A = this chain, B = another copy of it.
């Protein structure tokens, strides 16, 4: 179990999915002794979500500090960024020094576009699964999973699944008790089973 303070960078971009970011941040922001979070946007300042509200980035991508944990959300903005070589190059380089790289939802499409999932098992949002899969043939995509943990990569299914994955990550790093206590504090019905995923069948990815 890791006991040191984990420097954590959460990526923001125009058109990020609000809950993809806010779910993990609710978890990590309540564990200040374990995680020190920096929000990293295109530049420092307000970054607007797909849903409208803006979160404030602490620093711009070019000024991103070294971190131990990278978290990449999904959202409509991924569609442009996944084809942006400058962004994908930066993400690959910045993430290379991290001990854990995680994505929520279509954030997996950004990791895949940056080559960060090559040779890994991974999952993503189930409604946009085809788009994500199309980003890399070097990934073993898992259609039915709430999240996938493969070595130093964690990828979750869509939006709310990021909360389940983050709690599982907390449990993996700091023990089940801390994660359970956090889930109770935020009154969240934590799905502890990574294979629980009714949305794969709802979206026709597996037989119902």
* Chain A interface residues toward B at CB < 8 A: 17-19, 21-23, 25-26, 28-30, 32, 37, 39, 46, 49-56, 125-127, 157-161, 163, 184-189, 191, 198-199, 202
* Interfacial chain B residues near A198, Cβ < 8 Å: 189
* Interfacial chain B residues near A191, Cβ < 8 Å: 189
* Interfacial chain B residues near A55, Cβ < 8 Å: 53-56
Q: If A185-B127, A187-B126, A189-B191 touch, does A29 touch B53 (CB 8 Å cutoff)?
A: yes
Q: Is the CB of B53 within 8 A of A19?
A: no
Q: If A187-B126, A187-B158, A187-B159 touch, does A53 touch B30 (CB 8 Å cutoff)?
A: no
The smallest C-beta distance from A29 to any residue of chain B, in angstroms, reads 3
The smallest C-beta distance from A85 to any residue of chain B, in angstroms, reads 29
* Interfacial chain B residues near A186, Cβ < 8 Å: 19, 158-160
A183 (CB) vs chain B CBs: closest residue: B160
A22 (CB) vs chain B CBs: closest residue: B22
A sample of 27 cross-chain residue pairs with beta-carbon separation below 8 angstroms, ordered by A number, consists of A17-B26, A18-B25, A18-B26, A18-B29, A19-B26, A21-B22, A22-B22, A26-B159, A28-B51, A29-B51, A37-B52, A37-B53, A46-B56, A54-B56, A56-B56, A126-B187, A127-B185, A157-B187, A158-B185, A159-B185, A159-B188, A160-B187, A161-B187, A184-B199, A184-B202, A189-B189, A189-B198
* Interfacial chain B residues near A199, Cβ < 8 Å: 184, 187
* Interfacial chain B residues near A50, Cβ < 8 Å: 29
CA distance A18 to B185 in the complex (A): 13
